[in-house]
Every structure is written in structure tokens, then in C-alpha cells.
């Protein structure tokens, strides 16, 4: 079974590319960031101490994390409610990034992530997809863009949703999160040895998709 991994920092466009590829190849899709976000969200909701590893790990047992094969969405259920919409805000992202540095917690969710590898194939996005979770993936991509580009994209996205945040605040938040995700001891954001690095600065989404599809086409039969 073919696995494509996409790693890279916050706001670099992993989600957009992953969904495009999953759709184009009709592969399954794993948004691993949503798993970390859901744990962070519930930790905030229940005012759980972020150093209490046992409590954090027990959250993972109360979440159902599954793939909707039609919408390609990673659906997250907690207490019989879908919590997907609650996860994509800066507060939850910040808590997610903090709890993501806990080794025992990361280990406790490895199998949940690997279970997404189902026929006919998988596109998995995150920080450690190619390095730790799916080291045998046939295609590994690593997306990059400078902080300003990423902050500008996020700014535009939020504006479209009617949310007004200053660009400088977004740059500060991205830098803080990048730092936490990169310097942590366990599974830090790194470029897998055999990954194709795709710099997306000054490149439209269409151009990135085109470059990646041509790389994939040269490697696997599509
Ligand atoms: O991709 P995202 O912004 O939704 O991820 C939220 C946080 O989760 C991110 O700051 C770091 C963490 N994360 C991780 O450590 N490993 C992953 N595979 C995915 C996300």
C-alpha cells in the first residue's frame, strides 16, 4: 500500500496539499495535527494540568478519531459530539503544540495514526509523518515557506472567515509555535532524509500541486 507523507511547519499549506492529493489519487487522509489539537482542546476544556501525563493520555482513550471516506475528513468525536469545528483556533493550537512535546503521549497515539494506513493508500500530514510514524512511506514531502508568507496566508484565511487578527500577532504566534515544535526533544520537526523539499514561497497553490503531482507520477503508478 502506498503512503505519502507531508511534513512541515505551521501554516505552510500541508492541509490544502494533502486534501488535494487524497482527492486526486482517491487515497485516505490523516490530519495528525487534528489529533494533537483535540487532546489540547479537551485538556483546556477540563482544565487539565498540562504536565499531568496520565490524565492527558486518558483523554486519548475518550476520543474517537476516524476517517470519513466520503468527505475525506478526519472526524473527531468526544462524548458523542463531533468537535472538529472547535479545534482550529490559536488557543487550541498553542496547547496542542505544548502537549505535543510529551514523549509518553506521542507514543500512546502512534497506533491510532498508523491505523489510517488502509487500501488503496494514504496521505498523512503533520510534523513527524515521514520521520517517525510512516518511515517506509514511498513518497515523503517536506513543505517550507518563510514566516511572513505563512502568516500572510493565515491572515487571509482568517479574514475570509470574518476573524480580524493583526499580521504581527500572527507572525509572533507562528514563531513561538515553530520554536516549540522544532527544539523539542521528541519527534521534533525535521526533514526526513529521503524527502523532497518543496519551497512554497512565491508559488501559487496550483504550482505546488503541479510540481508534487509530477514528482509522484515519476515514482508511483497513478
Ligand atoms: O498541523 P497543526 O497546526 O494542526 O498542528 C497542531 C500542533 O500539533 C503543532 O503545533 C504541533 C503538533 N503536531 C505534532 O507535534 N506532530 C504532528 N504530527 C502533528 C502536529
pLDDT exceeds cutoff 90 at 89: no
Per-domain residue ranges of the chain: 2-214
Considering the chain, what is the average pLDDT of its residues? 93
* Mean pLDDT along residues 181-191: 91
For residue 207, the tally of other CB atoms under 10 A from its CB is 12
Instruction: Point out the ligand 1 atom lying closest to the alpha carbon of residue 15.
Output: 1
Q: Give 214-221's long-range contacts (Cβ < 8 A, gap of 24+).
A: 215/139, 215/141, 216/4, 216/21, 216/25, 216/139, 219/138, 219/139, 220/2, 220/138, 220/139
Instruction: Point out the ligand 1 atom lying closest to the alpha carbon of residue 129.
Output: 18
0.75 exceeded by the pTM? yes
The predicted pLDDT at position 135 comes to 97
The predicted pLDDT at position 220 comes to 84
pLDDT exceeds cutoff 80 at 222: no
> Residue with the nearest Cα to atom 16 of ligand 1?
127
What is the best residue among 13, 35, 36 to mutate for testing ligand 1's pocket, by most ligand atoms within 8 Å of CB?
Answer: 36
Residues 6+ apart with CB under 8 A from 215: 139, 141, 196
The predicted pLDDT at position 195 comes to 97
The CATH class that applies to domain 2-214 reads alpha beta
- In the chain, pLDDT over 70 holds for what percent of residues? 100
Instruction: Point out the ligand 1 atom lying closest to the alpha carbon of residue 87.
Output: 4
Amino acid at each position: 500500500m502506498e503512503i505519502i507523507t507531508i511534513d512541515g511547519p505551521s501554516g505552510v499549506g500541508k492541509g490544502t496539499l494533502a486534501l488535494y492529493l487524497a482527492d486526486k489519487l482517491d487515497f485516505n487522509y490523516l490530519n495528525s495535527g487534528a489529533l494533537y489539537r483535540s487532546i489540547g482542546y479537551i485538556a483546556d476544556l477540563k482544565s487539565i494540568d498540562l504536565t499531568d501525563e496520565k490524565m492527558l493520555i486518558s483523554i486519548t482513550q475518550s476520543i474517537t478519531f476516524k476517517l470519513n471516506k466520503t468527505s475525506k475528513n478526519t472526524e473527531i468525536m468526544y462524548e458523542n459530539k463531533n468537535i472538529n469545528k472547535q479545534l482550529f483556533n490559536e488557543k487550541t493550537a498553542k496547547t496542542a503544540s505544548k502537549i505535543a512535546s510529551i514523549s509518553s503521549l506521542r507514543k500512546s497515539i502512534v497506533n491510532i495514526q498508523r491505523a489510517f494506513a488502509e487500501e488503496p493508500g494514504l496521505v498523512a500530514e503533520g510534523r513527524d509523518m515521514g520521520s517517525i510514524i510512516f518511515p517506509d512511506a514511498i513518497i515523503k514531502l517536506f513543505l517550507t515557506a518563510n514566516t511572513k508568507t505563512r502568516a500572510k496566508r493565515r491572515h487571509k484565511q482568517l479574514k475570509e472567515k470574518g476573524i480580524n487578527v493583526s499580521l504581527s500577532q500572527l507572525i509572533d504566534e507562528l514563531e513561538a509555535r515553530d520554536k516549540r515544535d522544532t527544539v523539542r526533544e521528541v519527534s521534533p520537526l525535521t526533514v526526513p532524509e529521503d524527502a523532497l523539499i518543496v519551497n512554497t514561497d512565491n508559488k501559487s497553490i496550483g504550482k505546488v500541486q503541479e510540481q508534487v503531482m509530477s514528482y509522484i507520477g515519476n515514482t508511483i503508478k497513478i
